[in-house]
């Protein structure tokens, strides 16, 4: 849906920033929000048991600070912030991004009028702050995937995502569970879709990611905080998405990586199997050629060549994560997802 330019029905917007321990990029995140024009009705910063130093940093003119005595996780932090909002639209922004100055106006216009969506989200931009092969590759991969996702989305992203407050309250907010505090936005998107609400991916809504990725951190995050819990969630809901990381290209690439590895192992006893490995590698390049061209345009051919093994490793991680996630989905859930309303009753 194109962004509505009718400002006569522009809704109010509250920005909610959850801040966990060690949020080293909070200062530039808040500076960027302070430059927003038009200004949001509220900027609510939720310090999730992170200590007084971050709380003091967040106490700036025009910002409201909520300090949770114990670390409850990002889902709970966002829910606490939403409970303090007076606005019609809740805009969630992670503490490791810089939002553009026009983000509030863009989001408000997207929800203006009766034809607006129930929720929408954007992506990282193509100019990540951290240098280095791993950081640039990982952030550009996210940008590419979101920029080429379906406009009528199947999920939600809380790095920069907005939702109507009444919709948020109706579905119970972000699911809170202590054993998986990493895909609460995916689970929230599943709640929205299950309730019949429309989610849109807005390509023009872009924020700059500030995080520095290490190789080990990237592998650990992609496996334990993305592939495994996301696969488990999809299988539990009996719904395999054809969108974003799980679209046809992604699934085909995972299968080709598996073929390449099996054929490579078989080549020790049957040399002709090496031909299958080469064919699978050529297939991987072919189906992902547009992404590799994008990387070359951004940082040169040598950068793109060095990023290819990282990308194939990513698909291997996705495949391994799917197997583990499927196995975990066979085990009864130890703790059910806890909506905000039920959490309030239990408190």
Name all domains of the chain by residue range, CATH numbers in brackets: 7-212 (3.90.550.10)
Q: Pick the residue with more confidence: 47 or 230?
A: 47
pLDDT of residue 134: 97
| Upstream peptide bond of 38 is cis (omega within 30 degrees of 0) | yes
In terms of DSSP bridges, do strands 42-48 and 13-19 run parallel, antiparallel, or are they unpaired?
parallel
Cα gap 102→104, rounded to integer Å = 6
Residue 54, token pair as written in the block: 């971050």
Segment 128-136 shows an average pLDDT of 94
Q: Which residue in 160, 152, 247 sits closest to 197, CA to CA?
A: 152
Where do runs of H (alpha helix) occur along 177-300? 184-194, 215-220, 228-236, 248-266, 274-287, 289-299
pLDDT-derived band at 244, boundaries 50, 70, 90: low
Which of 213, 38, 63, 48 minimizes the C-alpha distance to 124? Answer: 213
More confident residue, 332 or 123: 123
**Percent residues over pLDDT 70 in the chain:** 87
| pLDDT, position 239 | 62
With a cut of 70, say whether residue 4 has pLDDT above it. no
- Reported as half-sphere exposure (CB side, CA atoms, 13 A), residue 288 has a value of 31
**Model's pTM, two decimal places?**
0.87
């Amino acid at each position: 849906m194109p962004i509505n330019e009718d400002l006569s029905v522009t809704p109010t917007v509250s920005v909610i920033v959850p801040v966990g321990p060690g949020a080293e990029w909070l200062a530039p995140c808040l500076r960027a929000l302070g430059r927003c024009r038009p200004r949001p009705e509220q900027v609510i910063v939720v310090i999730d048991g992170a200590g007084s130093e971050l709380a003091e940093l967040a106490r700036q003119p025009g910002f409201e600070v909520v300090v949770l005595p114990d670390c409850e996780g990002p889902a709970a932090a966002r829910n606490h912030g939403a409970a303090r909002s007076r606005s019609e639209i809740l805009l969630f922004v992670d503490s490791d991004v810089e939002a553009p100055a026009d983000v509030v106006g863009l989001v408000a216009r997207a929800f203006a009028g009766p034809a607006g969506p129930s929720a929408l989200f954007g992506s990282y931009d193509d100019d990540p702050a951290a240098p280095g092969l791993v950081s640039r590759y990982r952030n550009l991969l996210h940008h590419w995937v979101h920029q080429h996702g379906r406009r009528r989305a199947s999920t939600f992203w809380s790095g920069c995502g907005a939702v109507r407050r009444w919709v948020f309250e109706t579905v119970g907010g972000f699911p809170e569970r202590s054993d998986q505090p990493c895909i609460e936005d995916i689970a929230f998107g599943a709640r929205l879709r299950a309730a019949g609400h429309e989610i849109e991916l807005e390509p023009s809504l872009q924020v700059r990611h500030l995080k520095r990725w290490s190789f080990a951190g990237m592998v650990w995050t992609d496996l334990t905080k993305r592939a495994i819990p996301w696969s488990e969630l999809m299988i539990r809901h009996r719904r395999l998405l054809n969108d974003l990381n799980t679209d046809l290209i992604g699934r085909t690439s995972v299968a080709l990586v598996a073929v390449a590895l099996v054929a490579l192992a078989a080549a020790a006893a049957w040399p002709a199997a090496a031909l299958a490995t080469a064919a699978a590698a050529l297939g991987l390049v072919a189906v992902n050629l547009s992404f590799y061209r994008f990387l070359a345009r951004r940082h040169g051919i040598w950068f793109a060549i060095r990023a290819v093994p990282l990308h194939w490793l990513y698909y291997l991680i996705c495949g391994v994560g799917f197997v583990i996630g499927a196995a975990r989905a066979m085990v009864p859930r130890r703790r059910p997802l806890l909506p905000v309303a039920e959490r309030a009753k239990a408190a």
